[in-house]
Amino acid sequence: MLSTEALRPPQPEYTLGSILIVEDEDTIRETIALALQEEGYEVLLAEDGYTALSMAHRSNPIDLIILDIMLPYINGLDLCRMLRHEGNHVPVLMLSAKGSESDRIVGLEVGADDYLTKPFGMGELIARCRALMRRRRFESHGQGNVLKFGDITMYPQECRVTVRGEEISLSPKEFRILELFMGHPRRVWSREQLLEKIWGTDFVGDSKTVDVHIRWLREKLESDPSDPKYLLTVRGFGYRLG
C-alpha cells in the first residue's frame, strides 16, 4: 500500500483550505485531487478508512473531508460516526454510488453534512466543497466570538489566548495581529497590509517592525519557533496562519 506521503501531490504555497480526500479508487481520487488543487486548495489523500482516521488526528487542522462510503478497513459510515463521537465536527461530504433516499438519510444521520451520488460533475463537487467550508467559517465566527486554530484558542472579548491549554500573555499589537490571522486562516498578509491594519495608515517606521512582532508571537505560540507550524513565512509575499 502506498504511504500517505507518496499519495500527496505537490501543494501550492498558499491555499484556500485543507481538504482530505478518502477514496479507494485511484482514478476518482486523483481526478478530484487535481481539480481541487487547481482551485487553490491543499489536498491530502487517503485510500482507506484507517489511514484517514490517523490523518484526521494530525495537529494541523483539516477544513473538509470528502469521504467515500465503500472503503477498506473502516468504511465511510463508520469513520464518520467515529469522528463525530470524538467531537470532531469537520465538514464531511460523503460520496456513494448508492443514491436512494434511504442511503442519503443514513449518511446524513451518522454525521455527514452533505451527500453526493456517483457519478457526479466536478463543478458540482467543487461548489459543494465551497459551500460547506463557507458555512463552517460562518458558524465558527458565530460561536461566542471564540476563534480556534489547532491548539490556539482566542477569546477576543476577554483579550485572552490559550495555547495547548495554557494561557499566554500578549501585547496589544501581538493580540491584534493574531486576531487578524485567526479571523482569516491561511490568508497571506504582506508587511504593508499588516502595518496598515494594525499600526494604521499614519504609521511612520520600518516594515521590519512586523518581522519583530511575528518573531515575538512565534516565541509564544510555537513549540519550536525556529520551525514554526502556525505562523508561516510565504517567501516573497508575507505571512499566514497555518
CATH number at residue 225: 1.10.10.10
On the 0-12 / 13-18 / 19+ scale of CB atoms within 10 A, 97 is exposed
**Given pLDDT bands bounded at 50, 70 and 90, which one contains residue 189?**
confident
How many structural domains compose the chain?
Answer: 2
Q: Which pLDDT belongs to residue 12? A: 43
Assess whether 173 and 203 both reside in one domain.
yes
User: To the nearest whole number, what is the mean pLDDT of the chain?
Assistant: 83
**Given pLDDT bands bounded at 50, 70 and 90, which one contains residue 193?**
confident
Query: Quick check: 235 pLDDT over 80?
Result: yes
On the 0-12 / 13-18 / 19+ scale of CB atoms within 10 A, 76 is buried
Query: Quick check: 100 pLDDT over 80?
Result: no
Mean pLDDT of the region 174-200: 86
Assess whether 158 and 200 both reside in one domain.
yes
Torsion 195-199-203-205 (CA) sign: negative
Q: Which pLDDT belongs to residue 124? A: 92
Assess whether 43 and 15 both reside in one domain.
yes
Cis-peptide, bond into residue 119, ω within 30° of zero: yes
Bridge-based pairing of strands 92-96 and 114-117 is parallel
DSSP line for the chain:
---HHHHPPP--SS-S-EEEEE-S-HHHHHHHHHHHHHHT-EEEEESSHHHHHHHHTSSSPPSEEEEESS-SSS-HHHHHHHHHHTT----EEEEES--SHHHHHHHHHTT-SEEEESS--HHHHHHHHHHHHHHHHHHHHHSTT-EEETTEEEEGGGTEEEETTEEE---HHHHHHHHHHHHSTT--B-HHHHIIIII-TT--S-THHHHHHHHHHHHHH-SSTTS-SSEEEETTTEEEE-
pLDDT in tens, 39-65: 888 899 999 999 999 888 764 568 899
C-alpha grid cell for residue 90? Answer: 469537520
Higher pLDDT, 10 or 215: 215
Higher pLDDT, 204 or 97: 97
Higher pLDDT, 107 or 46: 46
pLDDT in tens, 111-166: 888 999 998 999 999 999 988 887 766 555 544 567 888 888 888 877 889 998 88
Assess whether 78 and 111 both reside in one domain.
yes
Q: What is the CATH number of the domain that holds 76?
A: 3.40.50.2300
Q: Which pLDDT belongs to residue 15? A: 52
**Given pLDDT bands bounded at 50, 70 and 90, which one contains residue 218?**
very high
Query: Quick check: 179 pLDDT over 60?
Result: yes
Assess whether 65 and 125 both reside in one domain.
yes
Assess whether 132 and 162 both reside in one domain.
no
Query: Quick check: 68 pLDDT over 60?
Result: yes
Mean pLDDT of the region 201-210: 77
Q: Which pLDDT belongs to residue 1? A: 37
Q: Which pLDDT belongs to residue 215? A: 94
Q: Which domain holds residue 113?
A: 4-142
Torsion 97-100-106-112 (CA) sign: positive
